[in-house]
Amino acid sequence: MNDEIEMTPLIFAAALAAVGASDLEAAFENTIQSTYPSGRSAKLWLARDGSFTARGAKGAASSGVWSIKAGELCLKQRKPFPAPVTYCSPIPADAKIGSEWAARSLKGEPLKNRIVAGR
């Protein structure tokens, strides 16, 4: 399976942590972008109702649900197929437009995450 296509929504969890839903305001109104070492990037959009949509680095769309567990953002993909895992990872509690932080994909690849203005 290719991280950049099928599991992209899960790696975006590297986007949010040690926070409550009210701390995710910048993510609700904007885009979380993850850039792979190859230079490709994927995008994640969170909704206040606990759902998310994503566009993988190769353009594949996916969606699912998110939750906060043990202070981390956790993503569970539902489409295009139900993922067998929930991926949880941190984000700076004070994240805002322009914030950047390092993360890792499910396969351990380094990622550069940032919040980009707009959807």
DSSP for 69-97 reads ETTEEEEEEEESS--S--EEE---TT--T
**Is the model's pLDDT at 7 over the cut of 70?**
no
What DSSP designation does 56 have?
-
Confidence tier at 22 by pLDDT (50, 70, 90): low
Structural domain contains residue 32 = yes
User: Mean per-residue pLDDT for 52-78?
Assistant: 90
Read off the CATH number of the domain in which 43 is found.
2.40.128
Query: What pLDDT does 97 receive?
Result: 94
Q: Model confidence over 95-119: pLDDT tens digits? A: 899 999 888 877 788 999 999 999 9
Structural domain contains residue 37 = yes
Q: Model confidence over 28-54: pLDDT tens digits? A: 889 999 999 999 999 999 999 999 999
Structural domain contains residue 16 = yes
| Interatomic CA distance for residues 69 and 92, integer angstroms | 15
Torsion of the alpha carbons at 74, 41, 6 and 52, rounded to the nearest 10: 40
Structural domain contains residue 42 = yes
Domain count, the chain: 1
SS3 content of the chain, % helix, strand, coil (to 5): 15, 40, 45
Does 3 or 110 have the greater pLDDT score? 110
Does 63 or 6 have the greater pLDDT score? 63
**Residues whose CB falls within 8 Å of the CB of residue 21, separated by 6 or more in sequence, listed in order:** 48, 68
Structural domain contains residue 1 = no
**Is the model's pLDDT at 74 over the cut of 50?**
yes
**Is the model's pLDDT at 25 over the cut of 50?**
yes
The residue segments making up the domain with residue 26 are: 8-116
Structural domain contains residue 3 = no
Query: What pLDDT does 18 receive?
Result: 40
pTM (2 d.p.): 0.78
User: Mean per-residue pLDDT for 48-76?
Assistant: 90
Amino acid identity of residue 76, one-letter, is K
